[in-house]
């Protein structure tokens, strides 16, 4: 299992992107969370097998009404999530 953090910029807020991310994650069995950042980006934390994570990331580009300008991912320390959730409210960590 591997955990990655993904920051996505472009037209990614107010277009149903987080709901699309959750749908993809649930279908693939990916645990994690997605939240809007104050700067207009979306932050995704995802845990799964590396091959599944690669598929998950590639499927994000297929979300309707979303225009991904930049997608940056990095591996972070493993975190276990029972499911994939959408976080609402302000981002509380450093960016």
Q: Are 84 and 31 in contact (CB under 8 A)?
A: yes
CA dist 87 and 95 (Å) reads 16
Q: Which residues pair with 74 in a beta bridge?
A: 5
Residue 44 burial by CB count (10 A; 0-12/13-18/19+): exposed, middle or buried? buried
Alpha-carbon span 81 to 30, nearest angstrom: 9
Catalytic positions are 18, 36
Q: What are the beta bridge partners of residue 8? A: 42, 71
């Amino acid at each position: 299992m591997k955990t990655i953090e993904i920051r996505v910029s472009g037209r990614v807020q107010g277009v149903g992107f987080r709901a699309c991310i959750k749908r993809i994650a649930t279908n693939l069995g990916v645990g994690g969370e997605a939240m809007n950042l104050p700067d207009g980006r979306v932050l995704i934390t995802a845990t799964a097998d590396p091959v599944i994570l690669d598929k998950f990331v590639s499927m994000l580009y297929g979300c309707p009404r979303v225009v991904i300008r930049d997608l940056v991912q990095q591996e972070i320390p493993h975190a276990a999530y029972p499911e994939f959730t959408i976080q609402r409210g302000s981002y509380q960590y450093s960016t």
